[in-house]
Amino acid sequence: MQLLSISPILFPLLGLLINAFFGKRMSERLIGAIASIMVLASFAVSAYLFIRAGALPEAQRLLSVDLGIPWIQAGKLSVPFGFLIDPLSTTMMLIVTGVGGLIHIYSVGYMRGDARFQRFFVYLNLFIASMLVLVMADSFLLMFVGWELVGLCSYLLIGFWFSNLKNAEAGRKAFVVNRIGDVGFILGILLIFATFGTLTFSGVFGKVTAMSAVNSPVIVAITLLLFVGAVGKSAQIPLFVWLPDAMAGPTPVSALIHAATMVTAGIYMMTRAHVLYTAAPATQDVVAIVGALTALVGGSIALTQYDIKKVLAYSTVSQLGFMVAAAGLGAYVASIFHLAMHAFFKALLFLAAGSVIHGMEHLGHANGAHAVDPQDMRNMGGLRTKMPVTFVVYVIGALALAGVPPFSGFFSKDEIVVAALQHNPLVFGLLAVAAVFTALYVGRQLVMVFFGKARTGNAEHAAESSPVMTIPLIVLAVFAALAGFLNLPGVGTLGTWLAPAVGGYEPEALQIGVAGLFTLLALAALLGAWIVYRDAFAKAADADPLERFGGLYVFLKRAWFIDALYQSVVVKLFYAASSFLARVFDVGGIDGLVNGTAVLVRNTSGALRRIQNGLVRSYGLMMLFGVVVIVAYFLWSAAVH
Amino acid sequence: MNTVSPFVLLSALLFTLGVIGVLTRRNAILIFMSIELMLNSANLAFVAFAHQWGQLDGQMFVFFVMAVAAAEVAVGLALIVTIFRSKKSTNVDDLSQLKG
């Protein structure tokens, strides 16, 4: 039972060990197969655990698997090494291993021929194992271990092509920005321990329920600190700047880590800690507003980007904002529902974008057209006929993202906005505008990439990707299209399933007004994008129609100048402090101290070395003097007493 | 002063001669012999005091000193022979490579 429960973690670990130690002698095909099979095995076990949990009566579904190993015992602190198999964690396990498995298979095609193919799959397997530790942990501390491990994998994979300095810098930026959030998370964990004396979920939540206090200062502080961690990991305002840069990594990484799984860790954590958040409505308001603002800001920036992956990155920021807002509204089911749907359609969009990039690079080098950026949407156009499979799945993903019924994104977004309408009109307004932006940028992207005429030789010669890449796309497209039926309004299959783990759930009936309004908004925005961008780009060098907004356009294009702000305030200050330490303190203080010691020792020994002249007789003379002095001392002291 | 026996005086005289020998001679063999002289002066002092106080301890110690001296002679002469083989000299002033 215990081994079975943790085997989803062990499979990818095994895969990474095999590939790390024997990969050098194996073919690419074998490395990819081992990595993929391990993740799929992990998926199979997760599915088994999921089904078995489903067979249990509702009250017993919260299974805690204690491995019986005391992990940390220090004074009052006692953390067991245990995992949690409950509706929430099994759902997350299925998403992580399912989407992860498909992305592994896709990567076999995408990374073919890469110099560090083996290392890529070792990292990917490590990521799956780490993410499973995060979602299966039954204490805040073990969750934090997974939290940091996925952060490490993210860093390693963003800077995967580190020979290009920009990629390495992007990895470093992600790491540093995430640390800021992690400080909050650690402080939150420490405060939890100081307050409740335990770190296990069941222990903490039991005590919070027993307190039955609303907005007690300490719980507000804890939840806010934990939220700081979520802001870093889930790329919310003001720490979202790392996520767009994270697109420097290979596209499957963007799909897996920076869209489907890792960045949703913050939302998962808040859902897991829903007892705490429900006890702190003040924090919840902050969370909802931050989430809604992020949704708006991310969506608005995505409108102006040219890089196909940057558009999707800002879109991810925006969609994460939706999820965080839902968590802040207390609609945890809606939050997890959107998380799952987003995992499907955003992974699909990223992988399809990877397929487009691959297609753009296909004949580029042979034609000497390597100067063309294969990720710039201005260089694309007309790929509809060149890459038919990619086009169809992209449209499905785009419609799901834009929230057009009956695609998955429509249902999950609908649940969030219905919750917003009931609890917080301001959040509802922000989300409505964000939804319009969503449909606008996704329409713009579709038109720029797939419609019109090919604007460069690369687009002219683009070719469809191999089946190892398109089959995962098709599977994901089926989910992106149909998964919304998992939680239909008024039925709520997923919600009922999650209810024991997220503190109850009542399925909302479909609100025709809200659903109709958002469908209309999405369709209108898509149509608007079609009209504006249909003829906008005849050549790659043409200006974007939005540029006529002047300052506003630049403001959005530069991501609200938030990066520039950090650059001038934080980074400059940091460099100034560093150069003071390096040039003045280090050279003067530290080096001075060290060199001073050395000079002192050298001068002293220089004087002393004259004594050691190598002549035995002079040593003998010194011994004689010593003996005489000692004997004289004894005689003298004997005479005195 | 009247308790100092002539044996102890002789012992002190021999010891001083040994010290002067060690400090003034350059030949390793002669230094070695001077050291033996010092050791035996110490033996003489042991015996003299043992006789004076009527105790056997000092006499017993002499045997230990003799045994150690014999061992030391064996090692010391072997060292000198080895040094002579490599340096072709027994002058201790030539052996000053460890000077600072």
The answer to the question of residue B97 being in a domain is no
Shortest CB distance from A620 goes to which of B22, B96, B97?
Answer: B22
* Record: contact B99-A620, CB cut-off 8 A: no
* Record: contact B23-A624, CB cut-off 8 A: yes
pLDDT at A542: 81
* Record: contact B96-A613, CB cut-off 8 A: yes
Number of domains in chain B: 1
Q: How far is B35 from chain A (nearest CA, A)?
A: 11
Shortest CB distance from A612 goes to which of B23, B31, B99?
Answer: B99
Tell me if chain A has a CB within 8 Å of the CB of B22: yes
pLDDT at A371: 66
The answer to the question of residue B95 being in a domain is no
Judged by phi (left if over 0) then psi (alpha if -120 to 50, else beta), residue A212 lies in left
The answer to the question of residue B30 being in a domain is yes
Two tokens, residue A378: 């201005």
Shortest CB distance from A609 goes to which of B92, B96, B100?
Answer: B100
pTM over 0.90: no
- Which of chain B's residues have a Cβ under 8 Å away from the Cβ of A620? 22-23
- Which of chain A's residues have a Cβ under 8 Å away from the Cβ of B99? 612-615
The answer to the question of residue B65 being in a domain is yes
Distance CA A396, CA A348 (A): 9
Shortest CB distance from A614 goes to which of B19, B31, B98?
Answer: B98
Tell me if chain A has a CB within 8 Å of the CB of B95: yes
* Record: contact A624-B31, CB cut-off 8 A: no
Q: Phi and psi for B27 in degrees, rounded to 5?
A: -75, 125
Contacts of A508 (CB under 8 A, 6+ apart): A415, A418, A419, A489, A490, A492
How confident is the model over A616-629, as pLDDT tens digits? 888 888 999 999 99
Residue A192 pLDDT exceeds 60: yes
Two tokens, residue A280: 């702190």
Tell me if chain A has a CB within 8 Å of the CB of B31: yes
How confident is the model over A472-502, as pLDDT tens digits? 999 999 999 999 898 888 888 888 888 888 8
The answer to the question of residue B96 being in a domain is no
Tell me if chain A has a CB within 8 Å of the CB of B6: no
- Which of chain A's residues have a Cβ under 8 Å away from the Cβ of B97? 614
Distance CA A43, CA A167 (A): 31
- Which of chain A's residues have a Cβ under 8 Å away from the Cβ of B45? none
pLDDT at B61: 92
pLDDT band (50, 70, 90) for residue B26: confident
The answer to the question of residue B26 being in a domain is yes
How confident is the model over A263-276, as pLDDT tens digits? 999 999 999 999 99
Q: How far is A638 from chain B (nearest CA, A)?
A: 16
Shortest CB distance from A615 goes to which of B19, B24, B96?
Answer: B96
Residue B61: CATH number of its domain: 1.10.287.3510
Nearest chain B residue to A624 by CA: give it.
B19
How confident is the model over A51-96, as pLDDT tens digits? 988 888 877 777 778 777 788 888 888 888 888 888 899 999 999 9
pLDDT at A430: 94
Question: Average of pLDDT values for A342-355?
Answer: 95
Distance CA A454, CA A443 (A): 18
How confident is the model over A37-51, as pLDDT tens digits? 999 999 999 999 999
Structural domain containing residue B40? 6-89
Q: Cis ω on the peptide bond leading into residue A500 (within 30° of 0)?
A: no
Place of tokens 């335990």: A198
Distance CA A332, CA A496 (A): 12
Shortest CB distance from B92 goes to which of A609, A617, A624?
Answer: A617
What is the C-alpha R_g of chain A? 30
Q: How far is A602 from chain B (nearest CA, A)?
A: 13
The answer to the question of residue B74 being in a domain is yes
Element housing A410 (H / E): helix A408-423
Work out the number of other CB atoms within 10 angstroms of the CB of residue A426: 13
* Record: contact B23-A608, CB cut-off 8 A: no
CA distances from A98 to A53, A341, A344 (A): 18, 13, 10
Residue A256 pLDDT exceeds 60: yes
Q: Per mean pLDDT, which range of A72-86, A161-175, A315-329 is the poorest?
A: A72-86
Shortest CB distance from A613 goes to which of B22, B31, B99?
Answer: B99
pLDDT at A113: 87
pLDDT at B92: 84
Tell me if chain A has a CB within 8 Å of the CB of B79: no
- Which of chain B's residues have a Cβ under 8 Å away from the Cβ of A627? none
A-B Cβ pairs (cutoff 8 Å, strict): 34
pLDDT at B1: 45
At residue A137, the 3 state secondary structure works out as: strand
Work out the number of other CB atoms within 10 angstroms of the CB of residue A495: 24
* Record: contact B23-A617, CB cut-off 8 A: yes
- Count Cβ atoms within 10 A of the Cβ of residue A171 and give its class: 0-12 exposed, 13-18 middle, 19 or more buried: buried
* Average pLDDT along chain A: 90
Q: How far is A616 from chain B (nearest CA, A)?
A: 7
How confident is the model over A205-250, as pLDDT tens digits? 999 988 888 889 999 999 999 999 999 999 998 899 999 999 999 9
**What ipTM is given for this predicted complex?**
0.82
- Count Cβ atoms within 10 A of the Cβ of residue A443 and give its class: 0-12 exposed, 13-18 middle, 19 or more buried: buried
* Record: contact B93-A612, CB cut-off 8 A: no
Two tokens, residue A587: 């050279």
* Record: contact B100-A624, CB cut-off 8 A: no
Q: Which of A289, A334, A306 is nearest to A314 (CA)?
A: A306
Angle between helices A425-450 and A388-402 (to 10 degrees): 170
Distance CA A493, CA A505 (A): 10
Distance CA A314, CA A240 (A): 9
The answer to the question of residue B1 being in a domain is no
pLDDT at A369: 47
- Which of chain B's residues have a Cβ under 8 Å away from the Cβ of A601? none
Residue B43 pLDDT exceeds 90: yes
Distance CA A36, CA A101 (A): 6
